[in-house]
Amino acid sequence: MKFVDRLEGEIVILEVSGKIMGGEETTMFHGKIHEYINQNKKNIVVDLAKVDWMNSVGLGMLISALTTVKNSGGRLVLANIDKIESILTITRLISVFEHFDSREAAIKSYS
């Protein structure tokens, strides 16, 4: 797994790619979430368009990020969940995460 982060106005974009299955990158992802929260940047879009695959550790990473952001008074949404929609549906997490078909739609949801 790799991820790139940037700000679009007041919205944090985390673009994740590859296979999400834990490891050092997961720890770095959480660190980045905390970094933005500490800067009072609490509107976060996780773009999953380039994710190939995800296991239960990857799901845990997303749940943990959602919990962290919500507990700080922020909002985290997912974009482009096509490739992981089945695992979100099977685990019933599809109803836990706000999700959008595109990054643009996710960003617009903050206005």
Q: Tell whether the model's pLDDT for residue 104 goes beyond 90.
A: yes
Quick one: average pLDDT of 18-36?
Answer: 93
Task: Please give the average per-residue pLDDT across 94-99, as a whole number.
Answer: 96
Write down the domain spans for the chain.
Answer: 2-108
Q: Going by CATH, does the domain composed of 2-108 fall within 3.30.750.24? A: yes
97-56-13-4 Cα dihedral, nearest 10 degrees: -170
Contact 42, 36 (CB under 8 A): yes
Q: Which of 56, 68, 50 shows the shortest CA–CA distance to 93?
A: 56
- Per-residue pLDDT, averaged over 60-87, amounts to 96
Query: Cα 81 vs. chain centroid, distance in angstroms?
Result: 10
pLDDT above 90 for 23: no
With cut-offs at 50, 70 and 90, classify the pLDDT of residue 51.
very high
Give the mean model confidence (pLDDT) for residues 76-83.
96
Confidence of residue 30 (pLDDT cuts 50, 70, 90): very high
Distance of alpha carbon 81 from alpha carbon 88, whole angstroms: 9
Burial of 49 (0-12, 13-18, 19+ CB in 10 A): middle
